[in-house]
Chains A and B, each alone.
Chain A
Amino acid sequence: MLEDTRVVSLDRLNDTTYSLTLRAPKIAAAARAGQLAHVTCPGFLLRRPFGICDADAAEGTIRVCFEVRGDGTEALAKVNAGDVLSVNGAVGHGFEDIKGRRVLFVGGGIGIFPLLYAARFAGVATAALCFRDKSRVVLAPDFAKVCKEIFLATDDGSLGFHGYAADLVNELIATHEYDCVCVCGPKIMMKTVSEVALGAGLDCYVSLEERMGCGVGACLACVCQTMLGQKRVCIDGPVFDAKEVRWDA
Chain B
Amino acid sequence: MKLAVNFAGVELKNPIATASGTCGFGMEYLPYYKASELGAVTLKALSIRPKAGNAVVRIAETPSGMLNSIGLQNPGVDSFLENKLEFVKNLGTKIIANIAGESMEDYEAVAEKLNVDGIDMIELNISCPNVSDGGLAFGTNPKIVEEITSRIKKKTEKPLIVKLSPNVTDITEIARAAESGGADALSLINTLMGMRIDAHTRRPVLSRGSGGLSGPAVKPVALHMISAVHRAVDLPLLGMGGIMTGRDAAEFLIAGATAVAIGTAAFADPKAPVRILGELREFMAAEGVEDVNDLIGTLKFN
Contacts and interface: CB of A to CB of B under 8 A. Distances in A.
Interface of A: 1-2, 40, 44-47, 71-72, 86, 88, 210-224, 230, 235
A71 B44 CA distance: 30
B161 to A, nearest CB: 21
8 contacts: A2-B32, A2-B270, A45-B268, A46-B59, A71-B61, A216-B29, A216-B31, A223-B58
B270 A219 contact: no
B46 interface: no
Contacts of B73: 220, 223, 230
Nearest to B73: A220
A2 B29 CA distance: 12
Given A214-B22, A214-B28, A217-B24, A45 B53 contact: no
Contacts of A214: 22, 28, 266-267, 270
Given A214-B28, A216-B29, A222-B56, A46 B61 contact: yes
A11 B216 CA distance: 33
Given A1-B31, A2-B271, A210-B56, A219 B68 contact: yes
B81 interface: no
Contacts, number: 89
A218 B61 contact: no
Interface string B40-59: 00001000000011001111
Contacts of A212: 59
A-B complex: 9 closest residue pairs judged by Cβ atoms: A221-B59, A218-B28, A217-B28, A218-B24, A214-B267, A221-B58, A213-B59, A216-B28, A46-B61
Contacts of B28: 214, 216-218, 235
A233 to B, nearest CB: 9
B59 A219 contact: yes
Contact of B70 (A71, A86, A219, A224): A219
Nearest to A223: B56
Q: Which residue, A88, A213, A219, has most C-beta atoms of chain B within 10 A? A: A219
Interface in B53-88: 53, 56-61, 64-66, 68, 70, 73
Contact of B267 (A1, A46, A223): A46
B188 interface: no
Contact of B22 (A46, A88, A218): A218
B260 interface: no
B227 interface: no
Q: Which residue, A1, A45, A215, A223, has most C-beta atoms of chain B within 10 A? A: A45
A45 B23 contact: no
Interface SS, A side: loop
A221 B205 CA distance: 13
A218 B270 CA distance: 10
B269 interface: yes
A211 B32 contact: no
B130 to A, nearest CB: 11
Nearest to A210: B56
A219 B60 CA distance: 13
Given A216-B28, A217-B24, 19 more contacts: A2-B270, A45-B61, A45-B64, A45-B216, A45-B268, A46-B61, A46-B66, A213-B58, A214-B28, A215-B270, A217-B27, A218-B29, A219-B68, A219-B70, A220-B53, A220-B73, A223-B58, A223-B73, A224-B56
Contacts of B70: 219-221
A45 B215 contact: yes
Given A46-B66, A219-B70, A230-B73, A213 B267 contact: yes
B92 interface: no
A16 to B, nearest CB: 15
A210 B55 CA distance: 11
Interface in B206-232: 215-216
A220 B58 CA distance: 8
B98 interface: no
B268 A46 contact: yes
Nearest to B56: A210
B125 interface: no
Nearest to A91: B31
A145 to B, nearest CB: 34
Contacts of B268: 40, 45-47
Contacts of A223: 53, 56, 58, 73
